[in-house]
Amino acid sequence: MIEPYISRSQDEQFFADIRAALEQPQSCPLMFQAWGVGGVGKTTLLRKVEEQHPEAAIALVRFGETTNIDSPLPLMETLMAEVNERFGNDWPDVFTERYHEYRTAIEAIKTQPADGKSPNDFEAVQAIVKAGTSAAQGALSVASAKPVEAIAKGGEMLSSIITIVEKAKQLLQQHPATKNDPELRELLCDPLPKLTELFAQSLIARSQQCPVLLLLDTYEKVPLEVDSWLCRSLLGNHPELQAARVRMGVVGRARLLNQESWRKLHQDQRLLREYCLNKFDEPKTQDYLAQIGIIEAAEVSRIYRVTRGLPYYLNWIRERQLCGNPIDFSEGNAEIVNLLLQGLSDEQKQVIECVACCLWFDQQTVRYLLSQVKLEQQPIDFKTAADSLNWFDWLTRKTFFVERVQQRYRLDDVARDVFRQSLWNRDRGKTFRQVCSILAADCQEQADDAVSRGALPTLRYGNEAWRQAQAEALYYKLLARQPEIQKQFLACLLEARYLGQDIVVQLPYGWLKTDESEIASHPYLSEETRQFLSQIMPAIEHSWAVLAEDPIDYEYNLVRFGLSKSAVDQAIQSCLAAPTIETLEGLAKYAALFYKSKRCLETQKLDWLLRAKIQAEQIATPIDIEFSSGMFLWDIGKSLGDLGRYKEAIDSFDKALDFKPDDHYAWHKRSLCLGDLGRYEEAIDSFDKVIAIKPDYDSAFYCKALCYGLQNQVELAVDCLQQAIELDSQYKERAKTDTDFDLIRGSDRFQALIEH
C-alpha cells in the first residue's frame, strides 16, 4: 500500500516558497519555519521537501536524535558533511579543510607533549578545547591583546582563568602542531566566529553548483547555544547567504517569532517566513482514510473524533491495517490513549503512562520506577532480575512508540504527550507528581554518587556526570512541585553562573520548553512556578549579561539577545531581592550578595560588598585555593578598589594571599591600592614581590616607575620604566602622557628614554 499524503494549504505554500527562494533567492527569505503541535506532520513535511528537490544538496539533522550536534561546531561539521555527499571528495570546501586542521591540532595538543618529553598541562589543553565558549572565550579575548593590562585596568576574569589562558597561549606557541602557524593559533583561540565565516563561504560556494537546503527537524529540542548561534551568528551576521541559492527549512513545536531574539532579527532583516500547521479537518481525514480503505461513514466519523484529525494517529491506524490488526471501535471510546494501547492490560497501560514521565530510560530506571510507584495495584515485585528484563524487553520491543536514543530509550514526543496527560487525568496529577518525585530522587542519588552532596561546589559543578544528573533532578522536582524547588533552582542558577556552568539550569529549562513551547502555559507546573521561571528566564539563558556584567549593557542585551530592559530588570529583581538572598546558603548566598553589589544603588554597593566578604570568609577553604583566593582577589578586592575603598581592598587582597601567597596578580592589585593611598614606599616593596615571583611582569615595572616618579626619584623611575619598555614597547607611548611622571618629565634622562 502506498503511503497516503494529504496536503494542506500551508504545506503547498511552504513547498512553493522554498522552490521560489531557490530560483530567485535575492527576493525571498532565507529561513522557512513550520510549527505546530506534536504529530501534525512536520517531519513528513521535510521529507516531502527532500523528495521535491532531487537537484539540491540537502542536509538534514534531527535535534534529540542526530548524535553529536549539541553545539555549533559539530552541527556545522554534520551539515557540511551531508551537503558534501552531493559533490564527493574531489572538491574540498574551505570550512571542512580548516575544521579538519582545527580538530587535528586539538587532538595533537591533547595527546602529545609540547616539548616531546613532559606531559601537557591538562588545564591549558582544556582552555583551548573550550575556546569560543563562556568564561574561557572571554579570557582568551582579553588575553589576545594584553592580559596584564586588562588586569591592571580592573578586568573581571578570575585569576585562575587568566593563568590557564597564559599557559594555553604559551602551549600554542611552543607545540609542534601550532608553533609555525600563527593563523592556526588564532583559530584555536577563537574558533566559532572564524569557522562560522568559513561555513557560510562554503555554503555559498556549493550553491553556485546546485541549490543547498539545510533542514532542521524537532527544533523544539535545539540546545540553547545552537539556537543562539543560528540566530545571531550565522543568520544575523551573514546576510550574504540570502543572495545565494542556500535556504533553511526548520520545523518544531514552538513558533520562533515568539522569541525576542528571532523577532528582532526578523524586524531588522526579514529573513524568516513562518507557517502554522493545523490538524486535518473532517473532509481531509475522510480523504486520508479512503486511501487506506476505510470508507464507512460511521467509522470515519468515529475515527475523526478519536484522532482529532492528527496525522500521527491516522498513520498509526494505517500501520495497524498493514499488519492485519483491525482497529476495534466497538466501545466507542474517544480516549486516544486507549486507541494506542488497544489489547494491553491495565497494568501495562499504567506502566507506559509512568515511563512517559521519563526524559529517557534504561532497564535500571524502569526497574527502580516500577518498584517504587504505587499503581492501582501494588508496586511490581521483581523477584529476579529476569522479571525486570522481561518488562524492559516488552516495553522496548513490543510497543511501536518507544524509540532508541543513543544508549537509552524514550517514548516518541506525541505518545509521551498523550500518556503523560492520561496519567495526569487519572487523579488530577497526584500519581504524575508521585512518579516525578521518584525520578527526582533517583537522579539526585545519581548526582550524589558522582560527587557527594557535601563536596566543594567546584568539585560538583566541575563533574560532568554530576551536572547531568543534577539537571535531570531539577527538571523532575519542578514537575513534582516539591517544596522549596524555586529556592533550589535559584541556588543552582547562582552557583552555576559563578562557576561558569549555566548548563545545569539551562538543561531543565530547555526540557520544560520542549514539553510545551511556552513555559507560561506548561500544563504540569504550578502557576507560581510558571511565573517564577518566566520572570527569571533572561537570567537562565543569559546569566552573565543579566547578573554578572558590570555595568549592565541594556542596549547590547536588546540587540544581541532580544532582551528588553523591563525583562532584564524583572529577572534581576526575582533573583536578587533582599528577602530572597537571606534564604540562601553557601556559595549561592555569596554569589547573590556579590551580584547584588553590581545591581544596586551606588550608595548601597559598599554594604553589599562587605556582606559578600563576610560570606566569603565563611565558605573559603584551603582545600580549594583558586576558588577561595579568587573571591577575595577578583570579586571583593577588585570591586572595593573600584569604589576607592583602598584600605578594605588591601585587606581583601591580603586574605587572597593567605590562600595563595605566590599569586603575583594579588600582589600587583595590592600594590596598586597602596599607590592610590599615597603609600609609595610600601607599594614599591609590594611591586618587588610581584617581580620576584614573575620577573617578566612588565606592568609591575611600569607601576613601580610611577611610584618613584611621584616621589621625584628620577634615576630609579627611569630604570624601572626602561625595564618595562624593554618588556613591552607600548609603555613608551603611555609614559609620554601619563601625569604621574610630571615631576620628572623635564629630566634629560627621562626625555631621552621616551623620545629615542
Q: Which of 157-166, 284-293, 340-349, 720-729 has the lowest mean pLDDT?
A: 157-166
pLDDT digits (tens, 9 = 90+) for 299-343: 888 778 777 788 877 887 787 777 776 665 543 333 466 666 666
Query: Which of 453, 502, 458 shows the shortest CA–CA distance to 628?
Result: 458
pLDDT at 582: 95
Contacts of 699 (CB under 8 A, 6+ apart): 148, 149, 151, 152, 668, 724
Q: Name the H helices within 631-678.
A: 638-642, 646-659, 664-676
Q: Which of 107-116, 258-267, 676-685, 719-728 has the lowest mean pLDDT?
A: 107-116
Tell whether the model's pLDDT for residue 381 goes beyond 70: no
Please write down the HEC assignment for all residues of 490-503. HHHHHHHHHCCCCH
Model confidence at 105, pLDDT cuts 50, 70, 90, reads confident
Model confidence at 152, pLDDT cuts 50, 70, 90, reads very low
Name the grid cell of 42.
512536520
Q: One-letter amino acid identity for 115?
A: D
Query: Which of 49, 511, 12, 3 shows the shortest CA–CA distance to 277?
Result: 12
Average pLDDT, the chain: 85
d(C-alpha 30, C-alpha 13), whole Å: 15
Query: Which of 678, 681, 680, 682 shows the shortest CA–CA distance to 654?
Result: 682
State residue 292 phi and psi, 5-degree precision: -110, 15
State residue 503 phi and psi, 5-degree precision: -60, -25
- Strand runs labelled E in 118-261: 212-217, 246-252
Model confidence at 263, pLDDT cuts 50, 70, 90, reads confident
pLDDT at 600: 95
d(C-alpha 159, C-alpha 441), whole Å: 37
Please write down the HEC assignment for all residues of 268-327. HHCCEEEEECCCCCHHHHHHHHHHCCCCCHHHHHHHHHHHCCCHHHHHHHHHHHHCCCCC
Q: Tell me the mean pLDDT in the region 43-67.
A: 92
Query: Which of 542, 650, 635 shows the shortest CA–CA distance to 592?
Result: 635
pLDDT digits (tens, 9 = 90+) for 417-452: 888 988 898 888 999 999 999 999 999 999 999 999
State residue 250 phi and psi, 5-degree precision: -125, 135
Model confidence at 134, pLDDT cuts 50, 70, 90, reads very low
pLDDT at 340: 67
pLDDT at 163: 52
Tell whether the model's pLDDT for residue 60 goes beyond 60: yes
d(C-alpha 396, C-alpha 293), whole Å: 30
Name the grid cell of 188.
584555536
Q: DSSP secondary-structure letter at 632? A: I
Q: Tell me the mean pLDDT in the region 598-614.
A: 96
Contacts of 38 (CB under 8 A, 6+ apart): 253, 312, 413, 414, 417
Q: Tell me the mean pLDDT in the region 645-666.
A: 95
Cell 548601597, residue located: 604
Tell whether the model's pLDDT for residue 121 goes beyond 60: no
d(C-alpha 348, C-alpha 728), whole Å: 74
Beta carbons of 557 and 542 less than 8 angstroms apart: yes
pTM for this one?
0.77
